[in-house]
Every structure is written in C-alpha cells, then in structure tokens.
A and B are shown apart, each in its own frame.
Chain A
Amino acid sequence: AIQLTQSPSSLSASVGDRVTITCRASQGISSALAWYQQKPGKAPKLLIYDASSLESGVPSRFSGSGSGTDFTLTISSLQPEDFATYYCQQFNSYPTFGQGTKLEIK
C-alpha cells in the first residue's frame, strides 16, 4: 500500500498567516492526490483534487501543487474558519489517507 506522510502533524498559526502543509507519498502517484478539510464532528470537505485543481466553491486562498511523491497545500491568508484538520488522500491502486495535520490558532 502507498503510504502518505503529512508534515507537520500539528501547526499553530495566526489569522492572516500563509501556511503550507506537506504530503509525501511512499512511491510516485503522478497527480492523483486530493486534500480535505475536516472540522470537529463534521465530515471531510474536498478542497483540492488532482493535486492542484480547486474544487468548486472552495475559496481561492487554498491552492495545491506537486506531482510524483511530494505535494503541498497552501493557504495564502488564514481565516478564522480555516482552523481545522487537513488530510491528503492518494489514489494509485486504492485510496489511502495521510495521518492529518491539525491547524490551531496561535
């Protein structure tokens, strides 16, 4: 199984900060990577798919990049509603998820 390793596991930041979360795959997955945001008690919400495509309705401050084994999710200017846990997900032979990055208010 392809393993995804997210870094950092947790992150403290302030409103207005630029934040980057990294996801590394144990083997190449081309651009088959998605990013999700999950708030406590809620289902995950799709943000980015195919590594860099913004899901409809998602604010443009969210962006994704990368291919092969290294990927990033960037939030250009943190808003109060962005504090949540973020997961990457790959699709090669079958879907697997990263362990999550918890983004907290500094």
Chain B
Amino acid sequence: QVQLQESGPGLVKPSETLSLTCAVSGYSISSGYYWGWIRQPPGKGLEWIGSIYHSGSTYYNPSLKSRVTISVDTSKNQFSLKLSSVTAADTAVYYCARAYGSGRRFDYWGQGTLVTVSS
C-alpha cells in the first residue's frame, strides 16, 4: 500500500521560505509516476502547486512558479517543496500526492500538514 507522509515546520515567518518533505513508503519513487504538492487554505478549496518526476522534471503552477522549487531524493524515497517569500496568504494545509501524468489525477495522498505564516 502506497503511503505518503508530510513533515516540516508548522510555523513560518513572513518573507521566509517554507520547506516541507514528503516521505513515500510502499512504492519506489524511482519506479515511475509523478509526485505532487497541493495546498488548501483553511475553509477554502484546493490549489495545485507543482509536480515532479523521478528524473527531476518539474511542472509548476504558473501563479506560484517564481517562488516554488520541488526536488526529489530517490535514495531516501522522498520529495520536497520549497516556497519562498511567504505571506499570510500561503497559510494552508499542504498535501503531497502521487500523480498520473504531471497531474491528470492524484490517487494517493498524504494526511496533510498545516503551515501557518505568522510573525
């Protein structure tokens, strides 16, 4: 069974960089699929942030592209998200997920982690 688990600081100061990691178990990232990040502000809808292939190819939401970096570490079977220059608008539950294509659908999800941007 594929399982994903997000980890990282739950509180980030404005203008700093948000960093999260998603550990994957039950499936080797090197075997294929894309791996993505999606976020959900409290009480609001879902927003795709970006996706990465095991080779390192990345695809980002155009609205966030200038601030986002997604990387993969196949040796640790995990992938990571960095979002720079955060503001209160970046406060959200951040999910990692497995994707068909770079985002045709997301079939396995982590439980999500709340990141609050506040001084």
Contacts and interface: CB of A to CB of B under 8 A. Distances in A.
Interface of A: 1, 32, 34, 36, 42-46, 49-50, 55, 87, 89, 91, 94-100
A46 B62 contact: no
A99 B45 contact: yes
A87 B45 contact: yes
A1 B62 contact: yes
A5 to B, nearest CB: 12
Contacts of A43: 95, 97, 109-112
Contacts of A42: 111
B-side interface mostly: loop
B61 interface: yes
Given A43-B95, A43-B110, A43-B112, A95 B103 contact: yes
B95 A34 contact: no
Nearest to B101: A91
Contacts of A44: 46, 95, 106, 109
A3 B47 CA distance: 12
Given A1-B62, A43-B111, A43-B112, A98 B105 contact: no
A94 B62 contact: yes
A98 B59 contact: no
Interface in B44-68: 45-48, 59, 61-63
